[in-house]
Chain A
Amino acid sequence: MMTSLRLGSMVFAAPPAAPSGRIRAHLALVSKDATAKGQRPSDPELVFREHASYVGRIALRLLGRGGDVDDVVQDVFVEATRGLGALRDPEAVRGWLAAVTVRVATRKLRAQRLRQWVGIEELPSYAALQAPGASAEQRLLLSQVYRTLERVSVNARVAWLLRYVEGERLETVAQRCGCSLAAAKRRILLAEQKIAEVFSL
């Protein structure tokens, strides 16, 4: 059964719920072909199909819990639809989506902190971490890391996670966070000190 998808002023025919591998390959080819030809990445549906998992991964690594990841991904692509037409370089889509994801996730983490502060939300538990394939020790380590990062500012948390969990370079961290390189280093250092304190490093 076909359903329609509306993004911006355009309406797309959504693919079947589980498209065949051939269709997936075609979608990937169309997108890569457009990128190769230097066309503007203005097709929101193709951009979504190609980058949704990447956005989801960054959101998961910043939030630490899977519950809010869907929310963040949808918000990111709603914002992305407005700005896609303005992007001239197709190669920039990925970086731009990452920056939007950092912004949306940061907003969500701040709102979460506020709810915790006024007492309408419990401190998050990272026991049920979404890390398929991870060993028990690895799950324990990750949940301890996220619990520790609850004790530093949201900015420091996000910068540290981008640096050590997402594995970005310092310059990229600063770019994603929308701050200077010095500020990015300072934020990472703050989180590092707390990690070192908790893990007796």
Chain B
Amino acid sequence: MKDFARNLEQARTHLDVTWDDAKLSSLSQGVSRRRAERRRSRAVAIASIALTVLVLFGASRWRSRSLESPTVAAVRSVVGEKSWKLADGSLAVLGVGTDLGVSSDAKPGVVALVLRAGTARFEVVPHAPGTFQVVAGDVVVEVVGTVFTVERRASRVRVSVDKGRVKVTWRSDAPFYLSAGESRELAERPVSSPTTPDSATPLARDEPNASPDPKPRASAKDWRALAQDGDFEGAYRLLGPDKASVTAESAGDLLLAADVARLSGHPSEAPPHLRKLLRVHRADPRAPLAAFTLGRVLLEELGDPRGAADAFQLVRHLAPGSPLDENALARAVEAWSRAGEVAQARGLAAEYVAKYPRGSKLRLVRHYAGLD
């Protein structure tokens, strides 16, 4: 053992390197070469990671943009209402059957929405960058920080302003402005201004009691047939302003008459039909629907949020637990909020959150109740 240790001790001293400066320089150059190779490899790795992150980030951005603000695809609300939050924070609330899309021809910095049909209420974020436009046929509504509604039915477009001020351009006419509380209805043919009605084509319908139809009234049966074919304007002309033909009609006729009034651009004439239905046919299964329609007309078209809130509450009373209940509760929150009754809105919002914690209107309810 001692011999082994001694021999190893002597032998190990010979295990050594003896390098001259040439060898050291060669090794030193090798070190610098390897260092450069490592730096290149690291740069390639970092670039690959960065590229991967960029691709993933871009894909997620593209996905979120496509969800929130599609550039060409339309947003269509076929059943029930739908809210659509735009990338700049503005909100569009679409009515039933509304067809709203984004213009692919918009200039940079312009958010241009195209309303093809139906009703949409817009809450535009004040001072958001760029211009916010809604195009409905020939009518262009341009806004900066406001709340307004655009409804497009057949050849008519109605613009109502709740807050702020909008600039409306229609065909080649000089643009005009609408302020809070004002509304204007425009049609395919030139129409009147709110102050100077055009007697030839009396399509401006700001006055609820305006009498638009000089034509003689035809039979009740005719107006129903036209309405069922979708010709609401023709049906309205036949129905006439005194509504005598539906005085003693069924719940179905009253609902149809209300639709004719609403969809032909005479929303102020719809509530009497609906109220009559609720009074005479309260037990009819269509009564909750009539109450809901009444609430919507009052809220969206006639600027009567308190009346609307009562109508939505009536829906819940008539059909507790029905599929309409969630919508009616959400709309009641909105109506009380727009009426300035914050406490009422919050009370109902709390009920909504408790009853429908995953409800489709949750975001809207929280928004109107100021819970965000």
Interface residues of A (CB under 8 A from B): 3, 5-8, 14-15, 17-19, 24, 45, 48-49, 52-53, 56-57, 60-61, 66, 69-70, 73-75, 77-78, 81, 129-134, 137-139, 141-142, 145, 164-167, 199, 201
Q: How far is the CB of A39 from chain B (nearest CB, A)?
A: 21
Q: List residues of chain B with CB under 8 Å of any chain A CB.
A: 1, 4, 7-8, 10-12, 14-22, 24-25, 27-32, 34-36, 38
Contact A141-B11, Cβ < 8 Å, known A17-B22, A18-B22: yes
Q: Report yes or no: A15 in contact with B25, Cβ–Cβ below 8 A.
A: yes
Q: Which residues of A contact B12 (CB under 8 A)?
A: 61, 142, 164-167
- For residue A152, give the distance in angstroms from its CB to the closest CB of chain B: 16
In the assembled complex, the Cα of A19 lies from the Cα of B24 at a distance in Å of: 11
Shortest B176–chain A CB gap in Å is: 67
Distance in Å: Cβ of B15 to nearest Cβ of chain A: 5
Query: Are B19 and A56 in contact, with the CB atoms below 8 A?
Result: yes
Per the bound structure, the CA–CA distance linking A130 and B14 in Å amounts to: 8
Structural contact, B32 and A6, CB atoms closer than 8 A? yes
**16 A-B contact pairs sorted by A residue (CB < 8 Å):** A3-B25, A5-B28, A6-B36, A8-B35, A14-B25, A18-B22, A56-B19, A60-B17, A73-B27, A74-B34, A131-B14, A131-B16, A142-B12, A142-B15, A145-B8, A166-B12
Name 16 extra pairs, CB < 8 A, besides A48-B31, A53-B19.
Answer: A6-B32, A15-B25, A48-B24, A48-B27, A52-B27, A53-B17, A60-B17, A66-B17, A130-B15, A131-B11, A131-B14, A138-B14, A141-B11, A142-B12, A165-B15, A166-B12
Closest to B12 in A: A165
Smallest beta-carbon distance B20→chain A, Å: 7
Is A57 within 8 A of B34, CB to CB?
Answer: no
How many angstroms between the C-alpha atoms of A141 and B31 in the bound complex? 34
Taking CB atoms, residues of chain B closer than 8 Å to A6 are: 32, 35-36
Contact B38 A78 (CB under 8 A): yes
Q: A78-B38, A165-B8 are in contact. Are A49 and B31 (CB under 8 A)?
A: no
CA A24 to CA B20, docked complex, whole Å = 11
- With A and B bound together, what is the CA distance between A45 and B35 in angstroms? 13
* Contacts known (A60-B15, A132-B14, A165-B15); A17 close to B21, Cβ less than 8 A: yes
B22 to chain A, nearest CB (A): 5
**Contact A24–B21 (Cβ < 8 Å):** yes
Asked if B35 and A78 sit within 8 Å, CB to CB, the answer is: yes
> Is B11 a contact of A138 with CB atoms below 8 Å?
yes
Determine the chain B residues whose CB is within 8 A of the CB of A78 once the complex forms.
Answer: 31, 34-35, 38
Who on chain A is nearest to B30 by CB? A74
> What's the Cα separation between A8 and B20 when bound, in Å?
24
Partner pick for A14 among B7, B18, B29, CB 8 A cutoff: B29
B32 surroundings in chain A (CB, below 8 A): 5-7
A7 touching B35, Cβ below 8 Å: yes
Closest residue of chain A to B31 (Cβ to Cβ) is A77
Residues of B within 8 A of A18 (CB): 20-22
Which of A75, A78, A81, A132 has the most C-beta atoms of chain B within 10 angstroms of its own C-beta?
A78
Q: Which residue of B lies closest to A17 (CB)?
A: B22
**Residue in chain B with minimal CB distance to A76:** B31
Asked whether B10 lies within 8 Å of A57 as measured between CB atoms, the reply is no
B4 near A132: Cβ-Cβ < 8 Å: no
Given known A81-B35, A165-B8, contact A17–B28 (CB-CB < 8 A): no
User: A45's contact among B1, B4, B7, B28, by CB below 8 Å, is which?
Assistant: B28
Shortest distance between the CB of B28 and any CB in chain A (Å)? 6
Chain B residues with CB under 8 Å of A70's CB are: 27, 30
Whole-angstrom distance between the Cβ of A38 and the nearest chain B Cβ: 26
B residues less than 8 Å from A73 (CB atoms) = 27
Q: How far is the CA of A164 from the CA of B14 in the complex (A)?
A: 14
Interchain CA distance A53-B27 in the complex, whole Å: 11
Asked if A57 meets B16 with Cβ closer than 8 Å, knowing A6-B36, A7-B31, the reply is yes
Which chain A residues lie closer than 8 Å to B28 at the CB level?
5, 14, 45, 48-49, 52
Which of B8, B29, B35, B38 is the one whose CB lies under 8 Å from A164?
B8
Whether A56 and B25, one on each chain, are in contact in the complex, defined by CB atoms closer than 8 angstroms, is no
Smallest Cβ distance from A198 to chain B, in angstroms?
A: 11
Q: Is the CB of A201 within 8 A of B4?
A: yes
- Rounded to whole angstroms, the CA-CA distance of A52 and B32 in the bound complex is 14
Q: Which residues of A contact B31 (CB under 8 A)?
A: 5, 7, 48, 74, 77-78, 81
Residue of B18, B20, B32 with most partner-chain A CB within 10 A: B32
Are A61 and B25 in contact, CB atoms less than 8 angstroms apart? no
Q: Which residues of A contact B4 (CB under 8 A)?
A: 199, 201
Q: In the complex the two chains form, what is the Cα distance from A162 to B269 in whole Å?
A: 102
Q: From B38, which residue of chain A is reached at the shortest CB distance?
A: A78
Q: Which residues of A contact B11 (CB under 8 A)?
A: 131, 134, 138-139, 141-142
What is the distance, in angstroms, from B24's C-beta to the closest C-beta of chain A? 6
Asked whether A57 lies within 8 Å of B35 as measured between CB atoms, the reply is no
Q: Which residues of B contact A139 (CB under 8 A)?
A: 11
Task: Kindly identify which residue among A66, A142, A201 contacts B1, using a CB–CB cutoff of 8 Å.
Answer: A201
When distances are taken between beta carbons in the complex, the residues of chain B under 8 Å from A7 are 31-32, 35
> Would you give the shortest CB distance from A108 to chain B, in whole angstroms?
14
Q: Is the CB of B8 within 8 A of A141?
A: yes
